[in-house]
Amino acid sequence: GLYLHYKAVAEAVDVDQILYNVPGRTAVDMQNSTVARLADIPNIVGVKDATGDLNRGKELIQLVGDRMAVYSGDDATAVELILLGAKGNISVTANVLPKDMADMCRLAIAGKADEARAINERLAALNCKLFVEANPIPVKWALQQLGLIQSGIRLPLTPLSQSFHQDVLAALKSAGAL
């Protein structure tokens, strides 16, 4: 069904598309074999792989890396997937620290593993704490703390629970955002 759906969309429009495989958010897991079949459709140009499974990501890159771009969608494992051949990261943390995430990705793409991993290590707590509640609740709260947006969030999302405020603030500090 996923193959037929994405194929129908790709054939109906003249727009490049990136597949979205985020099983933790969608409760559907697009298998590598399905992505490989979809890679033959010209305007399907990439896939966001947020499985966090590096072995599976490596296999995906080997299957489709010559036909489409593979991007990480999991901040915690992004550096390692890029070092395996992914083209970048479609990131949550980049909403809070875009330059840091961009630098980390550029370094990993250039093969500068130690430098990329050093940035990743500094961002590790933030990568984790931005998921203490459903995305984008913690991100919106963090951006508000940084003065980048006003308070407020639209339903069905709700403000970040008070019990998580100190954890997210500590992660912002350890990442160098505050």
Is 6 among the catalytic positions?
no
Candidates 3, 6, 7, 20; catalytic one: 20
Residue pair 163/138 in contact by the 8 Å Cβ criterion: no
Candidates 3, 6, 7, 48; catalytic one: 48
**What strand order describes the sheet that includes 17-21?**
17-21, 44-49, 69-72, 88-89
Q: How far apart are the first and last CA of the chain?
A: 46
The residue type found at 104 is M
* Whole-number Cα distances in Å, 28 to 36, 46, 68, 130: 17, 18, 21, 22
Q: What is the DSSP secondary structure assignment for residue 20, as one 8-state letter? A: E
What are the two backbone dihedrals, phi and then psi, of residue 45, each rounded to the nearest 5 degrees? -105, -5
What is the C-alpha to C-alpha distance for residues 52 and 55, in angstroms, rounded to an integer? 9
Is 48 among the catalytic positions?
yes
Which token pair is 177? 């955002």
* Residues annotated as catalytic (active site), given as ranges: 20, 48
